[in-house]
Amino acid sequence: MINSFGKIFIAMRVFFWAPGRKRQPNFNIIFLWLGSIAIMPGHTSQEKEGPSSIVHVIEVESIITPVSAQFIINSIEKAESEGAHCLIIELDTPGGLLESTRQITKRFLAAEIPIVVYVSPQGSRAASAGVFIAYAAHVAAMAPSTNIGAAHPVNIQGGVDTSSVMNDKVTNDAVAQVKALAEKRGRNIEWAEKAVRESVSITEQEALDLNVIDFISPSIDSLLSQIDGMEVEVASGETVLKTQNVRIVYRHMNFRYKILEKISNPNVAYILMMLGFYGLFFELSNPGAIFPGVVGAVCLILAFFALQVLPINYAGLLLILVAIVLFIMEVKITSFGLLTIGGIVAMLLGSLMLIEQPPDNFAPVISISITLIITVVALTAAFFIFAFGMAFKTHRKKITTGNEGMVGKNGVAQSKISPEGNVKVHGEIWKATSDILIKKGDRVRIVSVENLVLKVEKAN
């Protein structure tokens, strides 16, 4: 098609070539060139400023923690800065922390591009925190054989009464939040409240029938076809999704996020911390070994890196440190096992208290396995008890070297000892003294050694 610029150039060309006018060769060349460009089909300025042909896709297959929340938020910012038309989040989560979930939903509401939450692949779920994330999205879809629901907050701290009151507060706050999201996105408010209060869970077909989600899609391609032409409201106003023939760009967690996600598992963080303490202990016990110190330092750095995203109870961490100190003191000081017992009790209590279960959790997923705690405490106790036993045996063992090692050994008098003489011990001739008369050839036993002179007595 000829655009408006093309029409102008053609009109000017006709004017200069009008009959009776003197031809202008230079202008002819210029206008022919400009006119050919103007007549060529191309993008109008409106088309150039139109929607991007790129769609970003990320995968979140984990507990909703500060790590996954930061990854999602950064992915939204990346998609916005690169001009992506929308961001699709393939979600599979059992739940997570309410505060991390709130950060995600707040960013969804402030997004400049449409956010599509897709519960996928088949067999996945959007449980607990996943319900809030799906409700906050501009478009919510599920793959076949998936489910959504069970969003009741869980609190396992405090006494019965305190826990009940706190749980009611958290539940009411969660209900208010999910109802606000449902109203904002035009989804089923009644079911959202039931999911929080009664922990109901439904399949993808039930979710579609109840207006919990917008589509059931077996794949990303089918989802892009279904949402094409859909009108949604982003932070800057209404926009229409144009997802036909778009280029899909998959964004994955970088190395930092992957490492932090793996070690932020409470069990992994706990193991790394204990290995770090053991490494430093062995390095201090055997200066110059280097390897235990290096391994211990690396493990401790990784553990503290992970603990910064976990709800740590510093009283529990302090008890573990006290336990390590008590174990070290047991090796250095003979307490007949009292320090070891104190260290075992301190380590057990500290390990149980280390991860502080937050009161705003959608599921009891942030905790250390009790089996792991008992195993680590038992192994630690066994090691230090073994070390204490070996040290105790060493202290009680008879000295066999040096002057002290001569005490108790038997020899033969090489001369009369009254009070001095010579004795033969292990083929060596020693000066000897005795309080009683010892004849030459009598067997003697060494009582003590002083200034290389043996004090002996007759051997029985």
pLDDT by residue for the chain (460 residues), tens only, comes to 444 444 444 444 444 444 444 444 444 444 444 444 443 443 333 333 344 589 999 999 988 888 889 999 999 999 999 999 999 999 999 888 888 899 999 999 999 999 999 999 999 999 989 999 999 999 999 999 999 998 777 653 433 344 566 677 878 888 999 999 999 999 999 999 999 998 899 999 999 999 999 999 999 999 999 999 999 999 999 999 999 889 999 998 888 788 877 887 888 888 998 898 888 878 877 777 788 889 988 998 888 877 776 777 888 888 988 888 887 787 677 677 788 888 889 988 988 888 765 554 554 456 788 888 889 888 887 877 776 666 666 656 555 555 666 777 888 888 888 888 898 887 788 888 988 888 888 899 888 888 788 888 888 7
Q: Is the pTM of this model over 0.75?
A: no
Which CATH superfamily includes the segment(s) 404-458?
A: Nucleic acid-binding proteins (2.40.50.140)
Q: In angstroms, what CA-CA distances link 181 with 58, 87, 106, 174, 189?
A: 22, 19, 10, 11, 9
Domain edges within the chain: 4-47, 51-253, 263-396, 404-458
pLDDT of residue 392: 62
Architecture of the structural domain at 51-253: Alpha-Beta Complex (3.90)
CA distance 205 to 458: 101
**In Å, how far are 13, 187, 343, 448 from 425, measured between CA atoms?**
129, 99, 48, 13
Active site (catalytic) residues: 128, 169
Structure tokens at 174: 């969660």
According to the model, what pLDDT value does residue 403 have?
60
- Which regions of 217-365 does DSSP assign to beta strands (E)? 231-234, 237-240, 247-251
Task: Report the alpha-carbon distance of residue 459 to residue 443 in Å, rounded.
Answer: 6
Contact between 194 and 73 under an 8 Å Cβ cutoff? The reply is no
Q: pLDDT at position 163, please?
A: 53
Give the CA distances from residue 390 to residues 14, 166, 384, 397, in Å, rounded to whole numbers and listed in that order.
109, 51, 10, 10
